[in-house]
Structure formats: structure tokens, C-alpha cells
Amino acid sequence: MRLFLCEKPSQGRDIAKSLGATKRGNGYYEGAGSVVTWCIGHLVETAPPETYDEALKKWSLQALPIVPQEWKMIVKKSTASQFKVVKSLLSKATELIIATDADREGEMIARELVDLCNYRGPIKRLWLSALNDASIQKALSQLKPGHETESLYYSALGRSRADWLIGMNLSRLFTLLGQRAGYQGVLSVGRVQTPTLKLVADRENQVKNFVPVPFWDLDVILQSESGGVVFAARWQCPEDLADEAGRCINQADAITAEQQIRNAAQATVQQLKTERKKEQPPLPYELGELQKICSSKFGLGAQATLDTVQSLYETHKIVTYPRVDTGYLPENMHSEAPAILRAMLQSDSQLGQLMTQCNSELKSPAWNDAKVTAHHGIIPTTEVAELSKLSQAERGVYDLIKMRYLAQFFPPHEFDKTEAIFTAARYTLKAVGKKIVVPGWRITLLKNNENKDQDGDSASKDDDAGQELPQLTEGHACPVIDCRIDAKKTKAPALFTEGTLIEAMKQVSRYVTDPRLKAKLRETTGIGTNATRAGIIKSLLDRKLIAQKGKRHLIAASEAHDLLAAVPAAISNPGTTAIWEQALDMVESGELTLDDFVSKQSTWIGNIVEKYQNQPFNIKITTEKTPACTLCSSPTRRRKGKNGDFYGCSKYPDCKGIVNIEPKKKTTRK
């Protein structure tokens, strides 16, 4: 029996339909010589500590560190029935086709079942980038040998075990130390969670402690040599009067310059430099960039963006696989461009004018096999989108994706950038101008004749000029029409939004000072992965370690600041986590074995436990005032139950006393 193992039911349904396996069974489809079944995410999970030793149910410092000698997996209760289906089918299979998501986590979802169910038959890998029928048929004709992707499993398993070791040991360690100091809550510590929390807390501290510094700009309004055309040049503050950023920090200096330039009445052109520049279209989206843009443009959170693009991929089948970390495309996919562009036009007739101007034979730098990883950028599929069936969020995200793709078939944006240096009195002025020569791909940013950037990005690094300079000649003078002093203040960095936090997690090297570590971090994917970052942020929000300020910004809770002050710097240092991710990449490439990776993690955890378990823990965290246990009078903690929250004894499981929380009474207006 040829068995296809998918990641989720909808994926199984699509693949079964493409195979012609139309007969529905209990948790599977069969037909045309194949059986298609599915997981529901992870059907199994790493066993909790008490599975290894019942005594570990009770948290104690003496029991730490907890390091399994042989790792165990257990079936998740919520999906136990589907596990039975998969196990039964695996026992009958003569060939297994892994058809889970084409990434590290997808590989683990399938392979952990292969190991637990002791399947030892041949394995092949279906590597899908989209779930429309054409993509499935193409992938079916190009099945990979199972061994080619097996290392992804070891990398994912290493990540899972490292998370378990840190979460189980350090959350217990710092919670118990906190309890010894009088704190009654649970202090959660995570391999990726804690460094992410530090990013938010550090940014919040920067904003709180920021002291604005005043500075002054001086703009000089000049007229062209021939008269008529007016343009602006900016005074270049002399180095001995400026701060490190070249700003004038003394108003009197700006006033003196303004008076002398005005009295001079003219500025002489000393130097002219014009450079033709070409700007290639931006790459198709990778998930992190899409999350950042959607946060800025639509106010969508990171998880909401992921859910939306996942729906476009999985339900509507109009975009390719979204959990990707690159925007580059395989060169052989260029041949699909005419079909994709036709589908885009069929779904949206308003693209007609742009379609007449694009050239499907053009090949932008996005097509580059050398820069494609396991996945490629997010692009539309050949499916015709039924726009009326998309939600507002889905329509907005789909528009972003399709316009980025369309931009690949326009020529580069070309412009002349001119820098003009003037002297007036004894001062230097600088004017910058831009003249568009070829609009190129940037016309795709105009939608419905609105002069808006579809991406939400700034138009160009060179667009700050904002003016087209007149014809100028070196040695000639331009009359001074006016001088304007603008009083400004330096601005604090902005608090993170979910979108900018995603970017910070990716570009974590910016927040590390050690030059050697910074150099290494530039080569890694940062904190977490594109598939997990949104979930990490959501987890921090759910645990109330971070909170929203206003509509979009994020701040750290007071408990979070205290926890970060208590944990070892290596735990909260973003650089440490990024190095762990690099080690996982080494496991994937075969440079490091899974056992060696886990052994190093175990030793490191043991050293932390040994160092901290007898140290005083100074923690002052404001927590909810809870009632005493009705059985032993000990403090209680707020817990979540099937029927809502309740107060449970802090000495659980030794004492199982609870205090129910009275529901709030509804008030009615008379």
C-alpha cells in the first residue's frame, strides 16, 4: 500500500483529489492505488518530566537539572483518535510518501510518527510549494528520496529537545527561586521567548530614558541661474560646530549662518555630480517582510498575517507556501509566468493597463537558483482568484503579493541623481535632486490611479531629495531668495509593533555589540524562524509578559522586567539564541550530530542550575492578591481549568485545595 502522510486534513483532501483517491474512510482517503491520511499538526509530543519519574511531578530545586537519558514521545490526548488511524495505516504501508509542509517542522511532524510507530519501509518526499492541482501534479512527478530531507528532522528534533530542556529546567528553577523570595506566580523562561522579551523591554527602556536633543536645520531657497526655477539647498554645519551626526546643536550658530548667507545674496556652484542609477524591483515577499508590511499598512499582527496568508495558500490555493525565509525564485519557475499573469488578469480586470505594459519574458534578479533555499518567495499560483470570496484582510495581503510578483516583469526604475555643492559667504550648501528617466517597475505601485506605495515602503532611498534641480553650471551663481531655520529635536526610537519586532528578531545582529558574534549572526536567520516568530509573540502576549500599548505598540509587563534582571545574561541575550539556531543549521547540514547538540545543551543547562539554585533571588513583582487555600491556608495561584479560571493551592500536587472564582454579575439598566 502506498501511503501519503499529510500535515492537516485540508492538505490531505487536496492531494487525495489530485491523486484520484476519492473514497472517504475514517481519517483517510483511498483510491487509484494510494491511501492519503493526515496529522492534525503534531500528533505526538515530548513526554513531560513525570513520564520519566513520577516524583518529578513535584517541582523542587533538588531534582534539577532534568535531563532524559532516553527521550520519550507520547501521544497527544486531543488527537489520539487520528494517531490510531495513522499508526494502523503505517503498519500496512509498503511505501510512505511524506507530504507534510516542506520545512523543518513539517519533516518532524511526519518523522516522529515514523519512529514511534516503527515504520521501516521505503520513504519518499513530496515537496510542495503550492496546493493547486498543477503544483501537486508537478511535485508528484519529482518525488525526492526520503534520505534527502531526513536531516531536517534531526534539526527540528534538536530544536524541540533544546526547548524542552530550557523550558522545563529554567522555568522551574526561576519559579522556585521566585517562590522562595515570596513570589507566587510561574516565571516562564524560553529559548527564544526570553531573548524576544528582552528586545521589547530594552526598547521600552530606551524610549522611557530618552532625552531629546535640540538641533537646527537651515534651508536656503535659491533661484536658477536663468531665473524662474526655485529649489532648496541645505546648509552643511561646519564640523567644529556639529555633533557626531553632523547636526547644528547651537541655535546661535544657525542664526549667524542664516544672516551671513542672506547678506551674501548669492550662492556659487562649486561642484556638480550627476549619476544614473538603476533600481531593480524588490524581491517577492518572504514571510517576515510581509508581516512587517501588513503590520504597518493594515494593522495586522504577526500571527494574523500568517493566518491570512496561510488561508490564501491552503483554502483558496492562490499563493504559494508562505512560511519562507527568502524572496528569491528558482530559475525554472520563470516559464510559469505567462500562466500566472493570465490568472491574475482573469481575477482582476483592473490590472489590464498594467498587463499591457509588462513583459513576461523579462527576468528580474529575483530568479536565482544560487540564492533559493528549501523554499522560494511567496508568489501567486495559476489559480484564478475569486476576489469576492476573500475577506478584507485576505484581499489586502493577496494584492501585496501579486503586485510584488507583477513588478518582476517591468524594467528597472532609472533616474539621474544630482548633487550640487554651493558656497555662500564662508559656508557650504548642498542640494540634491532626482530626475526620473524610466519609471519602470515603480508604476506597479500605483493602484486605481492613487499615488500610493502598495508595499507601504518608502519609495526609494534617493527620493528624499523630493525635487528636480534646474540646469546648473559650475562657477555660476544662484540668487538667494530666502533662508529658513527649522528648530528640531532628536526623536526616541519607536516602540516595537508586531511587524517591527518580527524584523528585529530576524536582524538580531543589530542589537549585539560583540563584533565576532555580530559577524556570525549576520549569517544566521536570527531568533526563531519565519514559521515560529508569530507564535512566539502570541505566546508572550497570552502569558501577559508583553502587552499592547495603544493600537499597535508593544511594551513589557513589570514582571517581565524583573524576570529579565534575574535570569543569566546568556539566556536573555539575543545573540545566544541566534547561535543556537546556527547550531541547528549545522545539524541539518550534517556538520553536527543531534546527540552532540543535545549533550552540549544539557551540560550548559546543568551549569546554570548549579550556579543559581543557591543564590538569592531579589524579585519584586506585583501580582494578583489571591485568597488562601481552604484546606491548608497556603497562598493560591490563579489557574486555567476546563470550566474557567480558579485559584489552586500553591502546594499542588501535595495539596489539591481550590477556591472557585465567582463570575462577575451582569448589571442591567432599568
CATH number, domain containing residue 563 = 1.10.460.10
Q: What is the pLDDT of residues 162-215, one digit of tens each?
A: 999 999 999 999 889 888 877 777 788 998 899 999 999 999 999 999 999 999
Together in a domain, 523 and 601: yes
205 assigned to some structural domain: yes
Q: Which of 558, 459, 567, 474 is nearest to 193 (CA)?
A: 567
Together in a domain, 342 and 223: no
**Contact 163/145 with Cβ under 8 angstroms?**
no
Q: Which of 378, 407, 436 is the last residue of a domain?
A: 407
Q: Which of 489, 507, 529 is the last residue of a domain?
A: 489
Domain count along the chain: 5
| Identity of the residue numbered 459 | A
**Contact 153/126 with Cβ under 8 angstroms?**
no
Give the domain range for residue 670: 626-670
Predicted confidence band of residue 456 (pLDDT cuts 50, 70, 90)? very low
Together in a domain, 355 and 306: yes
153 assigned to some structural domain: no
**How confident is the model at residue 339, as a pLDDT?**
95
**Contact 466/199 with Cβ under 8 angstroms?**
no
- Average pLDDT of the residues in 478-493: 95
Gyration radius of the chain over CA positions: 30
Q: CA 134 to CA 319: how far, in whole Å?
A: 13
Q: Which of 545, 619, 532 is nearest to 156 (CA)?
A: 532
| Phi then psi dihedrals of residue 496, to 5 deg | -70, 145
Together in a domain, 8 and 138: yes
Together in a domain, 120 and 240: no
- Average pLDDT of the residues in 347-374: 91
462 assigned to some structural domain: yes
Predicted confidence band of residue 621 (pLDDT cuts 50, 70, 90)? low
282 assigned to some structural domain: no
55 assigned to some structural domain: yes
Q: CA 191 to CA 389: how far, in whole Å?
A: 40
Residues taking part in catalysis = 321
Of 83-97, 220-234, 627-641, the least confident: 627-641
Q: What is the pLDDT of residues 229-242, one digit of tens each?
A: 999 999 999 999 99
582 assigned to some structural domain: yes
Helix boundaries (H) for 141-192? 150-180
Q: CA 504 to CA 290: how far, in whole Å?
A: 14
CATH number for the domain spanning 369: value is: 1.10.290.10
Q: What is the pTM of this model?
A: 0.79
Q: Cα 146–147–149 angle (5° rounding)?
A: 80
- Average pLDDT of the residues in 330-337: 90
Q: What is the pLDDT of residues 82-140, one digit of tens each?
A: 999 999 999 999 999 999 988 888 999 999 999 999 999 999 999 987 777 888 999 99
What whole-number percentage of the chain has pLDDT above 90?
67
CATH number for the domain spanning 439: value is: 2.70.20.10
Q: 10 Å Cβ neighbour count for 500?
A: 21
**How confident is the model at residue 41, as a pLDDT?**
85
Together in a domain, 179 and 86: no
Together in a domain, 608 and 498: yes
Q: CA 140 to CA 123: how far, in whole Å?
A: 14
Of 200-209, 257-266, 636-645, the least confident: 636-645
Question: Long-range pairs for 595-604 at CB < 8 Å and ≥24 separation?
Answer: 597/158, 597/162, 598/158, 598/161, 598/162, 598/165, 601/161, 601/162, 601/165, 601/166, 602/65, 602/67, 602/165
Answer yes or no: is pLDDT of 397 > 70. yes
Together in a domain, 510 and 399: no
**How confident is the model at residue 362, as a pLDDT?**
95
**How confident is the model at residue 620, as a pLDDT?**
61
Looking at residue 633, what DSSP letter applies? -
Together in a domain, 450 and 481: yes
154 assigned to some structural domain: no
Together in a domain, 10 and 125: yes
Together in a domain, 585 and 633: no
Q: Which of 438, 454, 489 is the last residue of a domain?
A: 489
Q: CA 454 to CA 466: how far, in whole Å?
A: 19
273 assigned to some structural domain: yes
CATH number for the domain spanning 32: value is: 3.40.50.140
Together in a domain, 20 and 138: yes
